[in-house]
Amino acid sequence: MQAYATLTATFARLGALEDASGILGWDTQTQMPDGASDTRGEQLAVLSVLAHEILTDPRNAERFEAAESEAGLGEWERANLREMRRAYAHAAAVPGDLVAAASKATTRCEMIWREARRESDFARLRPHLEEVLRLRRLVGEAKGATLGLDPYDALLDGYDPGMRRARIDPIFAQLRTVLPDLVVAVRERQAAQAPALPLPGPFPVAIQREIGLGLMRAVGFDFSRGRLDVSLHPFCGGATDDVRITTRYDEASATGALMGVLHETGHAIYEQGRPAAWRHQPVGQARGMSLHESQSLLVEMQACRSAEFCAYLAPTLRAAFGGDGPAWEADNLHRLYTRVEPGFIRVDADEVTYPAHILLRYRLETAMIAGDLTVADLPGAFNDGMMELLGLTVPDDRHGCLQDIHWPGGSFGYFPTYTLGALAAAQLFRAACAAHPSIRPALAEGDFAQLRGWLLENVHARASLMETDELLLAATGKPLGAEDFLAHLRRRYLGAAV
């Protein structure tokens, strides 16, 4: 197994470089002074190019061929070899100078985005975003030529291996058909009920943070291998055995930051649950971003916006903030957390209207990569889409196309994984509760042990051993689809017996 052993050593080195980039990326979003952005861009570019050079060493292609014929490779080793080949194919398709240029451009654009978003100044971002888009098109074209895919599918494959527009489009068409009437029905039902009472603030950040830390522990976050910080846009990042998650606080509202913490904790326990024996090997990595998003949405939406969990959370909040009265009751908290109302901001959207935000971004980014939509026309197209899909008039670009970091960061192809993840979350939660009916009652006690144990066994510990649909089939009995998600929405928001 000499060739295979050489490859595992190579990918262990790559894993260490990726970890270093992960920590630098976390620091960029949380601690780095604005004046250091150009230097940080150079640092990240050097690491990207170094990793690219190691991965695209021509000798690796020969080692893949030799390793395929070596005796003694088990199931995990063969899956690891498959994922190594996938990573190599993506990297070898892109020249090193393009890797460096793209890394520098995205780091610069992310920093400009911070200022542009704050000032609602799209013109400031426009030339930098145009450059990022130009480079991502080149990357998509280069990868597509090697992988036999169109540029968008090639970029999508980098975030969700094996996923294609041909797979997404029918699912999204189903959502586009069903959800508008569902939103109307839910809002009519909620309008006929007593309105949810807002929790009276203020909510000191220090107290919000302590509650968030306690919820992270309840879900199963290991603080010996991770931490919680603050950033403009919540995320989960860091490195192997050093998982960094962030949230953002608002003293006028306690609900947003707490759900942000729970969302990112879902990502984090997936990272912390990956098999230690395959640390820094491709097969030990998370199985694509749709499945990653399923873990965050399963924790936040499926579990922590349930009536059972609200029964646990309500007295916790009441005690922490000294609340009194009906606003602090579990039933009212549940109504607050399941209120459906179209809004401008994707990350604040409820789970019924959230897919509309993704349908819009998916349509826009596929058009940009195809060359059918220019960056100059992006604000108008975004605003038109918000009116079409959600009936909203966007007041300014901060509430429109400037709200997300994804495009400035070069993440074209990432957005559809959010809604695909919501579908997978519904399937997985249904299967977990069917296997262990005590999961839901346990949430009322703040007990996630059985749920996390099921996820560890069926998702986290399997890492990239299986393809996404294969893993979902094994865990839930069927490949990815919209049926369980739609049934969940009808059950939670319409009281339907499904």
Query: Which residues are designated catalytic?
Result: 264
Contact by Cβ (8 Å): 24, 40: yes
DSSP structural state of residue 224: G
- What is the bridge-based pairing of β-strands 226-230 and 236-239? unpaired
Question: What does the block give as tokens for 354?
Answer: 């959230």
Enter the tokens of residue 453: 């144990």
**CA of residue 321 relative to chain centroid, distance:** 30
Q: Which helix (H) or strand (E) holds 230?
A: strand 226-230
Q: Ramachandran region of residue 193, left (φ > 0), alpha (ψ -120 to 50) or beta?
A: beta
Residue 166 backbone dihedrals phi, psi, to 5 degrees? -65, -25
Nearest to residue 265, comparing CAs of 310, 211, 186, 341? 211
Task: Show the tokens assigned to 143.
Answer: 């990868």
Q: Are 73 and 1 in contact (CB under 8 A)?
A: yes
User: What distance in Å separates the CA atoms of residue 344 and residue 396, rounded to the nearest whole number?
Assistant: 10
Handedness of CA 15, 458, 423, 268 (dihedral sign): negative
Rounded CA-CA distance 300/266 in Å is 7
Neighbours of 324 (CB within 10 A): 9
DSSP characters over 269-323: HHHHHS-GGGTTSGGGS-SHHHHHHHHHHIIIIIITTSHHHHHHHHHHHHHHHT-
Which two tokens mark 287? 């199985």
**Angle at which helices 2-30 and 58-68 pack, to 10 degrees?**
130
Tokens of 480: 């990815």
Q: What is the DSSP string of 140-171?
A: HHHHHHHHTS-HHHHHHHHHSTT--HHHHHHH
| Site of tokens 């299967």 | 431
253, burial (CB in 10 Å: exposed 0-12, middle 13-18, buried 19+):
middle
Distance set, CA 385 to CA 148, 362, 389 (Å)? 31, 11, 6
